[in-house]
Structure 1
């Protein structure tokens, strides 16, 4: 196997991880930003007001995008598994 192909597989794996984490974390970050602006505007400084909506949104993202996430990781694993003979010899 060529070094460029191996580097491409590693790049694809890293991109997949970043995409999967981004799908789950970015909505929570945006929700946290919205809540922080609300807390600054109303001067309500309650920690549960910040934590609970982000937790619920992250869980909803897992529920709604879980099938897509599993399909992406499964497809990547299948491609890696099918390329084992090409990688070895």
Structure 2
């Protein structure tokens, strides 16, 4: 295995990580920002108030995007196994 092939696998792994984890992290970020703006506007500074909507949004996004995420991970794993079997 050459260095270029190893770097290609590493690049593919990073892209898969970003593709799988990115939407869930982005949803948590947006929900956290919205809740923070609402807390600042209403001057309610309760820490648990920002936690519950984020947890619900992340769980909901995992339910909705779970199939997409699993398919990406399976495709990447199959590609890695093909590369390993070709060595």
The aligned counterpart of 2:56 is 56
Q: Which residue of 2 aligns with 1:12?
A: 12
User: In structure 1, how many angstroms separate the alpha carbons of the residues matched to 2:85 and 2:56?
Assistant: 44
Distance 1:3 1:23 in 2: 31
Aligned Cα RMSD in Å? 1.1
Structure 1, residues 35-76: CA drift from partner, whole Å, max 9, x if none? Answer: 101110110111221110000000001000000100000000
Report the counterpart of residue 27 of structure 2 in structure 1: 27
* Deviation (angstroms), 1:2: 2.4
Q: How many residues align?
A: 87
Normalised by the size of structure 1, how large is the TM-score?
0.90
Hey, what's the Cα distance between the residues in 1 that align with 2:11 and 2:27? 24
Structure 1 runs of 4+ aligned residues shifted over 2 Å read: none
Query: TM-score scaled to structure 2, two decimals?
Result: 0.91
User: Unpaired segments of 5 or more residues in structure 1?
Assistant: none
Structure 2 unaligned regions, length at least 5: none
- C-alpha deviations, 1:1-20, integer Å up to 9, x for none? 32112101111101211222
